[in-house]
Chains A and B, each alone.
Chain A
């Protein structure tokens, strides 16, 4: 297992993490752990390694186990490599009644992968997610920081084309 190493967190990420640490009382650095994990995950191309989690523990003076607990509890942290674009597809009730089933089918066909999979060229990962809180725009997906709403197969094609 690699040694915990603060150097794994690059300078830009440190600046970003420090801004989060400053939001909380001086003796509550741990409050920044969720932000720190997100920041190093982004730095690493969308997923966390044990070495990165250990580096976060080091950086925030936390026990490693407490970082692992947080990193495995919340659904937005990834523990395996993901494609350049992670496509999160909501299939919960509002999206379901508005046709998320067809959206899933279209994406799986188009990308030739199943839900949870990554394309061979590592460009796309498909992930089924729970309600993302954009129900009046159902069906919807999230890619990166962006929400895409009121979707059909045609719009999906356009969105993916623009990402390429």
Chain B
């Protein structure tokens, strides 16, 4: 079965309306929790059983994250949703916002109840105008119907939720950069500790979760942690949306069980387009190391399965690279991206991403030197572990991955000043 969690309204006409959401049992989890006064600890326990892990890319256990919040202490706390979807290849949260925005609202209200927050913000990337409009309309519907506001379902629980629009910066997907951005500043990540659970938005305890993570919560509450877990594997619970892009017959978002073999996912996509052969897969967004296609055919789509193959599940963005793709060209494009998006705060990342991009540019254009291959590897290694946030790692890991599996293509570019794939097109 597919589309059982975040996409459970997708089969309906106008799946984004309140009416559609109510017809699949929407807002019943929130109602049950509030009216039956279910303790927050019980909900967090169900999340731990479900093995739900952060769907934005880091894969941190959600129940554990919520348990870090100082619920018992007085004062303002916040729940923040990260809809700043920007990891190249990733386009799943956009469809949650467009097609099932109410489920995210319900998930955020449940999170607010569990962590003791009466206010939430959903940070939506600035380019997502249509998803933002859908989400804001849903907020309006929810307020009018009494699912947001004061004394929800006649209880003492108040919850208000607002959207915040970004302005175009990949780094704002990093949770503390995102908080800075909501505060009206440049999106530069904060040094940690303190972590957001202690010092978050406006200095108040804050939990930040990804869109897909929060939208999964109402269904987990309804059906139980065990139900969700059994859709996946131990420690890799649930369903997951895989955003497939590249030259397959039916690219798109597929919400399927964690642990599904990649070969089955490729089949769901109709296989490769005519005239294209599978060459390699970037399995979890542009930051995750590339895996050769034949190896990928034996990999299952879950955190552990992809890690065993030397990469990461990340955001679940499956980028299909076909036999017409030059790997030097591909890495050069990615390195350019990270240079563009480095916030400039940490020297190893600011300077290192520039080095990577320039070296890749000269190899791609036939000006590479033999020592460039070792230099690339060294610069990537020198960035890793030396920066405040993970953007440095995100820039370095693709370099390591491409060099590991496709060194011959890089060597060919250096030796012959042209591409071995594009038959001398460069």
Binding site for B on A (CB under 8 A): 23-25, 28, 30-35, 37-38, 60, 62, 66, 69-70, 73-77, 88, 91-94, 96-98, 129-138, 142, 145-147
Mask of B244-272 contacts with A, CB within 8 angstroms, 1/0: 11110001110000000000000000000
Q: A31-B183, A38-B167, A76-B168 are in contact. Are A133 and B127 (CB under 8 A)?
A: yes
Q: Which residue of B lies closest to A100 (CB)?
A: B333
What are 26 A-B contacts defined by CB distance under 8 Å? A23-B162, A23-B164, A32-B184, A34-B126, A66-B185, A70-B167, A70-B185, A73-B167, A76-B126, A77-B168, A93-B282, A94-B88, A96-B330, A129-B168, A130-B340, A131-B89, A131-B170, A131-B286, A133-B94, A133-B125, A134-B91, A135-B90, A136-B91, A136-B245, A142-B127, A145-B130
Name the residue of chain A whose CB is nearest to the CB of B94.
A133
Give B367-390 interface residues, CB cut-off 8 Å to A.
Answer: none
Can you name the residue of chain A whose Cβ is closest to the Cβ of B182?
A31
Q: In the complex the two chains form, is A37's CB within 8 Å of B167's CB?
A: yes
Evaluate contact between B169 and A92: CB separation under 8 angstroms: no
B126, B129, B167, B244, most chain A CB atoms within 10 A: B167
Q: How far is the CB of B93 from chain A (nearest CB, A)?
A: 8
Q: What's the interface size class on B, roughly?
A: 35 or more
Q: Which residue of B lies closest to A67 (CB)?
A: B184
Q: Complex: how many Å from CA A131 to CA B126?
A: 12
Binding site of B, secondary structure by majority: helix, strand, loop or mixed? mixed
Q: Specify which of B88, B130, B165, B187 is in contact with A135 (CB 8 Å cutoff).
A: B88
Binary contact track B299-338/A, C-beta < 8 Å → 1, others 0: 0000000000000000001011110110001100110010
Query: Is B409 part of the binding interface, using a Cβ–Cβ cutoff of 8 Å?
Result: no
Asked if B166 lies at the interface with its beta carbon under 8 angstroms from chain A, I say yes
Cβ contacts under 8 Å, A147 to chain B: 130
Chain A proximity mask over B73-99: 1 for CB below 8 Å, otherwise 0: 000000000000111111101100000
Say which residue of A23, A62, A76 sits within 8 Å of B167 (CB atoms): A76
Q: How far does the Cβ of A128 sit from chain B's closest Cβ, in whole Å?
A: 10
Distance A93 CA – B334 CA, assembled complex (angstroms): 7
